[in-house]
Each structure stands twice: as structure tokens, then as C-alpha cells.
Amino acid sequence: MPIGPGEQDVRRLQLTGGATYTLSLPKPWVSANNLGSSDGIRIDWRSSGELMLSPLEDSEEQRTEITIDLDGLPATALYDHLMGAYISGVQEIVIKSKDVLKRKTRNEIRRFLRSTRGFEIGEEGDFHSRLINLLNTGELPLSASLNRMYLLLSSLVRDIIEALQGADAYLISDHDEREREVDGLQYLIERQVGSMLSSSQIVKSLGISRKQGVEYANLARSLERMMDHADQIARLTLDSESIPKLSIRKMPLSALPIWLDSIKTLMINLRERDAHQIEEARNSLKSAQLKLEEHEESLWSGRRKAAPLLFEDRLSESIRRLCAYARDFGEILLNMLAYDSIKRNR
């Protein structure tokens, strides 16, 4: 029976020549992929036991396009729709309108280009703009993006420690740029993982399974949330007229070196997968969280001035959330370790 996309069929194996098993392919699938006699078919044997078939010559990433009609969108929704299209894995985005594109619209397009990786303006007119992706989705390993996110995050936290101890606040003046870069890398990972779900070629290029890809996206989300709180601490430090004297040996500041050591250990175990090291790091973070909670409760028991108390309370809360998201990061690593340990009996 002829079948199309999304449909299923059952085909029986045939034994030919006493040693070779053959299976017929649906004619609509053969025609849709422009295949003929003697053309090659790639067979991928997946860890689940399934076989995936794809044309041997189909190595190029499929060009896809989406059109965003501004006349049918709410006034402030363009950026969100652009980001949704980006994460979906589309290759070209066309923005069009019956009226001349406004300056605000073009600013939103430029904002989108700054927030993402690989897209550029390929064509621009009075009534439309075409954005084209120049980055091959399978080129940049997910681990490289995660490592870059970690480096941006940890360097900002180290600079924050120095600024809170009296160093020039200029050290953290670029916190918003670092935060935007982390956001962009997280969006890129979301885009790559989304593309993996529909393309076996991208799965092969990235060298990881779809399950691993989903967990990498979860790790990236944890790093992005940690960066949000590091950014909040940087803003708090820059915006405060007077910063109370804080010791690196006392809470809440003493929790930051614990966080730095723990997140470094967890990043190493993205590769090593040592359950003991992961659990030890998570326990250190949990202990720091509890001490920060106790510190926050003790702040309001004395008679200190309100401004320094508010600063220290907000600082402690953000550091505590840094520890919480780092523990989530470790939990995801344990999930990946457990999945890799599964024995699949046939």
C-alpha cells in the first residue's frame, strides 16, 4: 500500500540466494527523494535497535523558509517570532509588510541579528527584508558552545569577587555584553538540538545522540540562568552608591569560591562522568545554600542600616540561586551518566 509522511506500513523480509535478506522500499519515498536503480542508501543502525534510511547523496542541509507577515502580528511581537523561527531551525526568514518597514522594525531585526549566530541580511527593500543563515548547523560542537558559556560565566563571577573587594568596577562594566553572548550561545544550542530531531545528518555531524542533545540543551539552560543571576549581581554592584565591606572568608561572599570550584568540577565531568566527583560538588553547593539561607535570616536580627542590609540580602539570594542552578547542572550530568549505563538486552 502506498504510504506518505507520517504514515506506517509493514513489509516482510525476503530471503534471496539462501544468504541475503531483502526489503522493498515504498515507491512514494523513492520518488520523493529522486532515487533510481543502483542509487545508494545510507543505513544508520541506532542504539535503540532501529534502522534509519536516508539517500546517500542527501548530505546538504535542507533549505527551509518562513515568512513573517507584519500586517498580521501584534505591534511588539516581531522579535519573539524571529526568535521562534531561529530556534525551529529555519534557514531563511522573510519579513514583509504592505507598508514601508518602519525604523522600529529594522531595529528589532538588528537586535535579533545581535542575539543569534549565523544569520545576516541577504536582501532588503522598502517592504521586506530577507534574513539568510550562513552557519551550518552541524559545524559547531555543542560541547564547544557549553564551554564558551562556562568561561564567560566563571570569568564574570571572578571579576565580581574582585569588584566587591574594592577593585575597579570597570572590571564588570561589560557584564551585559557577556550576558548577551551567553544568551546567543544558548539559543544556538536550542536551534541545533531542534534540528537534530528532524535530521539524521546533523546528528551524525555533531557526533552525539538525540538524547544527549536534549540533555546538552538542559545544561545550556542551567548555565544561562546562572548567567542571569551573575548579571544581576554585577548590576547591583555597579548601581549601589556604597558597597558594604564584605570578607571573602564570610558569607555571603565565601560561597562564590565554593561555586567556582564546584562548577569547574561539573564541567570537567561533562567529559569524565565521575559520579563521585559530581555528587561531591553537588553536596558542597547544597551546604553553601543552607549557610546562605541561615545568613539571610540572621541579617535582620541586628540594628544595621537598611541600605547595606538590602544590598547584602539581594547579593546572598542571587549567590544562593547560582548554587541551586549549579546543583541542577550536576543532576543533569547524573541523568546522562545513568542513561549511558543502561544495558539493552536483546
Taking only the tens of pLDDT, the chain with its 346 residues reads 557 777 888 888 998 877 888 988 988 888 888 888 888 888 878 766 778 888 876 555 568 999 999 999 998 999 999 999 999 999 999 999 999 999 999 999 999 999 999 999 999 999 999 999 999 988 899 999 999 999 999 999 999 999 999 899 999 999 999 999 999 999 999 999 999 988 878 888 899 989 999 999 999 999 999 999 999 999 999 999 888 889 999 999 999 999 999 999 999 999 999 999 999 999 999 999 999 999 999 988 877 788 889 999 999 999 999 999 999 999 999 999 999 888 877 6
pLDDT the model gives residue 1: 56
User: What pLDDT, on a 0 to 100 scale, did the predictor assign at position 203?
Assistant: 87
List CB contacts of 338: < 8 A, sequence separation 6 or more: none
Positive or negative, the Cα torsion across 272, 276, 279, 285? negative
Q: Please report the pLDDT score of residue 61 as a whole number.
A: 57
User: Considering the entire predicted model, what is its pTM?
Assistant: 0.89
CA distance 137 to 135: 6
pLDDT score at 180 = 97
Residue type, 113: L
- C-alpha to C-alpha distances, 59 to 203, 204, 276, 305, 342, nearest whole angstrom: 12, 10, 41, 66, 31
Full DSSP string of 60-121: SPPP-EEEEEGGGS-TT-HHHHHHHHHHHT-SEEEEE-SSPPPHHHHHHHHHHHHHSSSEEE
pLDDT the model gives residue 160: 98
Residue 92: phi, psi to the nearest 5?
Answer: -135, 140
Tell me what pLDDT residue 197 has: 85
Which region, left, alpha or beta, applies to residue 6 given φ > 0 means left and ψ of -120 to 50 means alpha? Answer: left
> Residue 84: its pLDDT value, please?
96
Domains detected in the chain: 14-55 (2.10.260), 65-133 (3.30.1370), 142-242+253-340 (1.20.58.220)
| Cross-strand pairs, 45 | 51
Predicted local distance difference test score (pLDDT) of residue 60: 56
Task: Return d(Cα 344, Cα 339) in angstroms, integer.
Answer: 11
